[in-house]
Amino acid sequence: MRWEISKTFRFEAGHRVWKQNLTHGRGAQFTKEVEIPQNKCVNLHGHSYVLEVTVGSDTLSEQDMVMDFYHIKNALKELIDTIDHSFIIDTSDPMYPELKEVAEKFGALKIFPVEFCPTAEALAKFFYDFLTEKLKEARLLGEVKVVKVVLWETATSKAEYKPE
């Protein structure tokens, strides 16, 4: 892409990485000898997320832009408003049926069901796919494409998704 622009969004949300097992998987060998790892992220917890989306084009519009930042904001506004202050939960998570029931019974828990374990990596791809679909629906996908999505969970931890 000759030109790229980025737009940043902030939202608050909870989740739980129900598949976390620090004694197995990639990198487990780095901590087994040092300490007995605690699977803290299986607990219900939340983050002040920062989402950065980057779109690009090899050409500029008649207004000398890739796309106006205002339009990027509006493409994602409804999703950001929906996910903000929600609890993101995988529908395969064993806790999902009960949390859904609590949400329906008391109305004090806003759940955002997804069909994947809501890790930062998986959520970055989710936002990438969502924005790509929005560009496709607007018939802009040939002119503009999503270059990458970066999702910060904390000030020191982020995940990035970009196509091959």
**What is the spatial order of strands in the sheet that 145-154 belongs to?**
111-114, 86-90, 3-15, 45-57, 145-154, 157-161
- The string over 128-140, giving b where at least 16 C-beta atoms fall within 10 Å of a residue's C-beta and e elsewhere, is beebbebbeeeeb
Count of CB atoms within 10 A of residue 26's CB?
6
47 is catalytic: no
Q: In the annotation, is 41 catalytic?
A: yes
The rounded distance, in Å, linking the Cα atoms of 100 and 113 is 9
Q: Is 52 among the catalytic positions?
A: no
Of 45, 85, 133, 137, which one is the catalytic site residue? 85
**Could you give the residue numbers annotated as active site?**
41, 85, 153
